[in-house]
Amino acid sequence: IYDKENDAAWYYVGPDGKAVKSKLATPFPTREMQKQMKTTRRRAVARMDGEYGMVAQLRSWLPREIGGLYWVFVDNAYTSPYFPLFTGTTAIPEVYRTYDPNAYSDQSARWAVDFVDNMLYLNWQDGKKDLLAARAPMEESFFSRNAAIEQEYMALQKKNPQKATALLNNYAQECADKIMQTYRELRNLLLVKYTNNK
């Protein structure tokens, strides 16, 4: 495995004569960066120009509505949060249905992630720490909450299947809202920390 962030081209000699890694060192260099640094293109698993994707978590021992759980990402798989979506969900949150590549929308999960992704290229080495600090607790809350949702769903399904479906739809909306809030706050933090406004 080749670590593109540790390519020799990302290092320069610091004031003390030691090699220093550039704050711009990224696994996603643009074509212009590659030309300037005379590096070759290597295909990363996550792509800066990705569209969307998912990881399927399939559990045959659970009812089919909750036995399938898709972890959906948009844009760059490295910078995107993974949005939990049970297979029994019947209402996809609006922010995950909204995306026009020609018109920015503050009501689009794809644009929220893409904005953060692009801000990270201003200072990848420090910015990715901010990304992980914001995203990790949010995703941990999804992981820990899923088991409770599954238990609640199974109890509701026996009594009132419509309420059980509403539970999954509400949970999807709650997760989407949390993602949007987190990524808006992260966008604002990155704007303040890494642009030339100081």
Model confidence over 115-144: pLDDT tens digits? 999 899 888 889 999 999 999 999 999 999
Task: Note the pLDDT of residue 180.
Answer: 98
Higher pLDDT, 1 or 24: 24
Least confident among 4-8, 111-115, 147-151: 4-8
The helix/strand/coil state of 54 is strand
**Can you give the residue ranges of every domain in the chain?**
4-37, 52-194
Number of CB atoms found within 10 A of residue 63's CB: 15
Model confidence pTM above 0.85: no
Strand partners for 20: 12
For tokens 């399939």, the residue is 58
